[in-house]
Amino acid sequence: MGEQDSDGGRETAKAAKRAPVRRKPTVRASGAAEEKPAPTGKAAAEEAVPAGKAAPAKASAKKPASAGRSASAGRAAARRAPAGKSAPAGRVPAAGKPLVAPGETAAAVQGAPTRTVAKPVKEESRTALVRRARRINRELAEVFPYAHPELDFENPFQLLVATVLSAQTTDLRVNQTTPALFAKYPTPEDLAAADPEEVEEILRPCGFFRAKTRSVMGLSRMLAEDFGGEVPGRLEDLVKLPGVGRKTAFVVLGNAFGRPGITVDTHFQRLVRRWRWTDETDPDKIEAAVGALFPKSDWTDLSHHVIWHGRRICHARKPACGACPIAPLCPAYGEGETDPEKAKKLLKYEKGGLPGQRLKPPQAYLDAGGRPAPPLGAG
């Protein structure tokens, strides 16, 4: 029994040596030292670094022993959190209180939908803008190779009068009205000497018929008296005529005299701002800004391309973005319908938007050989 007791004592001593209890001295208020168990885990890590001193660099490379337990506690807290509320991983909220991260709104914590904010558009250099604008024009030229003035005319005088009448109405309505007008008053002298009431009756379908009657009769009178009955081919002369501004003048110069000009109508203004060619709203400033992006020789055709695109695809209220041939080049992509099938239904192959009046399909603007037909009055 004695040997067994001694052997047991030796085994106990050996076990104590193999797993010693780490103790550190503590100082009481009286100055006497007392042994207490050494802290483990997070407490040990906190005590290992004195207050006000940074931890050694090597310590940051080692994964704390409590990391796994902290992550598990965070996941458990997330499972315990009420529906629609979440706690960040690794942080355990107090009992019964949801944890809100700094800067996080209450709506986000409660699961309310947050609004997606579009990223700011990258600033575009002048060179990049010129290249993109000219590429858009080239793409539209392929889509609308037959683009031309949609007003019917046979000479500069008819084009001038028709353009004045097209204000605040559709080209289709003007084309339905002008045949009777020009049949009865074929020359400026004839229209200048007409009975205003008769002219008003003819122009009534165009809207604002009284004001338009005064304009076309006034410009006819000035053509007869100051220009020998001929439409002048200079901008400074055209803008002197009643009812004629720069837009109307450039339509006449570009399509009746072959002199380049930019036609800044409502479609043109809307599209160039959507494409961010310019931020200007004044027509004269838009004309100058856009004209600086293109060679002068491109101005007339550019106007046709933009206007045709605005009437058929890039509408004011519901652009057909999903069917737009220049969508990759458009900063405003997404303002309209992006679904291709739905966007196709928005395409307008109607002239002017009058009920039952359909625009000719594109093939109708090609000649027998498949080439773009020249516009009426050309040559």
Smallest Cα–Cα separation from 72: which of 91, 48, 47? 91
Q: Which of 247, 298, 301, 351 is catalytic?
A: 247
Burial readout 20-55 (b: 16 or more C-beta within 10 A, e: otherwise): eeeeeeeeeeeeeeeeeeeeeeeeeeeeeeeeeeee
Rounded-to-integer distance, Cα 334 and Cα 152, Å = 35
DSSP annotation of 319:
-
Q: Judge residue 227's burial from the number of C-beta atoms within 10 Å of its C-beta, 0-12 exposed, 13-18 middle, 19 or more buried.
A: middle
DSSP annotation of 366:
B
Smallest Cα–Cα separation from 153: which of 163, 145, 167, 142? 163
Rounded-to-integer distance, Cα 25 and Cα 27, Å = 7
Rounded-to-integer distance, Cα 250 and Cα 271, Å = 19
Q: Both tokens of residue 194?
A: 């007409």
| 285 is a catalytic site residue | no
Assign 23 to helix, strand or coil.
strand
Q: Both tokens of residue 375?
A: 């516009």
Rounded-to-integer distance, Cα 177 and Cα 375, Å = 19
Rounded-to-integer distance, Cα 277 and Cα 249, Å = 23
Smallest Cα–Cα separation from 160: which of 244, 224, 268, 283? 244
Q: Which of 152, 171, 212, 265 is catalytic?
A: 265
Rounded-to-integer distance, Cα 373 and Cα 360, Å = 13
| 296 is a catalytic site residue | no
Q: Which residues contact 44 (CB under 8 A, 6 or more apart)?
A: 38
CA distances from 35 to 26, 38, 136 (A): 6, 9, 84
Strand segments, DSSP code E, in the chain are 23-27, 33-37
Positions marked active-site: 247, 265
